[in-house]
């Protein structure tokens, strides 16, 4: 299995040195600012006010979204989509996904995008050599994704399903799983379950692409803060059962 974990846009290839890891290599985009913040936290140093606040802390729509998700335990995400409280929605494909697709760096076969929302990344990756499945627990999100994409020329190469990533059983395993804003949206105590589900649904030679967000020292969520060490510990869990 290959793990591509993106923190920012500076390319760096790192050879895995973990004996348990089955990954032949790990490519990472590591931003100097984000790494400095993470290092400060690990060393117990105080972050600046700007670093401590992060980029998402004081946006009003984020506070409203958090309130809905935390108070409506069964339908909070649906309420967010119904009310248009979707601050994570870029309104376009993730730039990194466009770059990887256009340069031919994405694996062919079957791809999965959990928490796909409006489906921009699903559509961007879909082609004759890659069938993409977008999952979301929100019926409104899935309806919007279908409405935006059903008439596109590559519509036969993707599908959107209203399903729960943690309980859904795919008919086939995936060659690629892409996660941007899904991992940070789940409660931290569910992250080990996320890793187990990735391991269960990904082919042994498949690739996991994650974009770490947000790396800021804020309390609560969603989005919940993520650290480099968090992701690497989960990488070990994902890779543990794959053959070398």
Domain boundaries of the chain, sorted by first residue? 2-239
Q: Considering the entire predicted model, what is its pTM?
A: 0.74
Asked if the model's pLDDT at residue 61 lies above 60, the reply is yes
pLDDT value for 86 = 84
> What pLDDT does 62 receive?
78
- If DSSP codes are grouped into helix, strand and coil, which group holds residue 45? coil
Look at residue 210 in the predicted model and tell me its pLDDT.
84
Contacts for 164-170: CB closer than 8 Å, 24+ residues apart: 164/135, 164/137, 165/114, 165/115, 165/135, 165/137, 165/194, 165/197, 166/190, 166/193, 166/194, 166/197, 168/135, 170/112, 170/133, 170/201
Query: Could you tell me if residue 186 is left (phi over 0), alpha (psi between -120 and 50 degrees) or otherwise beta?
Result: beta
**What pLDDT digit, counting tens, does each position of 126-136 carry?**
999 999 999 99
The residue ranking higher by pLDDT, 113 or 219, is: 113
Distance of CA 183 to the CA centre of its chain: 5
Measure the CA–CA gap between 86 and 213, rounded to whole angstroms: 15
The predicted model gives 206-219 an average pLDDT of 73
Least confident interval from 38-42, 97-101, 180-184, 195-199: 38-42
Confidence bin at 43 (pLDDT 50/70/90): low
Query: What is the average pLDDT value for the chain, to the nearest integer?
Result: 75
- Which DSSP helix (H) or strand (E) runs through 175? strand 174-179
pLDDT at 221: 63
State CA 47 to chain mean position distance.
26
Structure tokens at 41: 């936290």
Q: Classify domain 2-239 by CATH number.
A: 3.40.50.150
Interval 71-113: pLDDT, tens = 776 688 898 889 988 888 889 999 989 999 999 999 999 999 9
């Amino acid at each position: 299995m290959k793990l591509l974990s993106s923190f920012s846009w500076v390319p760096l290839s790192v050879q895995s040195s973990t004996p348990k890891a089955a990954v032949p290599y790990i490519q990472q985009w590591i931003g100097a600012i984000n790494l400095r913040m993470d290092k400060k936290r690990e060393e117990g140093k105080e972050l600046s006010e700007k670093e401590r606040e992060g980029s998402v802390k004081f946006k009003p729509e984020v506070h409203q979204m958090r309130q809905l998700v935390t108070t409506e335990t069964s339908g909070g995400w649906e309420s967010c989509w119904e009310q248009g409280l979707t601050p994570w929605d870029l309104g376009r494909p993730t730039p990194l996904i466009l770059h990887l697709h256009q340069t031919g760096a994405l694996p062919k076969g079957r791809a999965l995008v959990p928490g796909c929302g409006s489906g921009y990344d699903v559509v961007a990756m879909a082609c004759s050599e890659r069938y993409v499945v977008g999952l979301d627990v929100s019926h409104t999100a899935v309806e919007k994704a279908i409405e935006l994409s059903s008439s596109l020329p590559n519509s036969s190469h993707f599908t959107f399903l209203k399903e729960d990533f943690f309980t859904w059983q795919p008919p086939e395993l995936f060659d690629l799983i892409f996660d941007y804003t899904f991992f940070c949206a789940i409660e931290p105590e569910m992250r080990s379950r996320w890793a187990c589900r990735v391991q269960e649904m990904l082919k042994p030679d498949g690739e996991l692409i994650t974009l770490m967000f947000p790396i800021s020292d804020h309390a609560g969520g969603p989005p919940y803060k993520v650290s480099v060490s968090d992701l690497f510990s989960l990488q070990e869990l994902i890779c543990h059962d794959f053959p070398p």
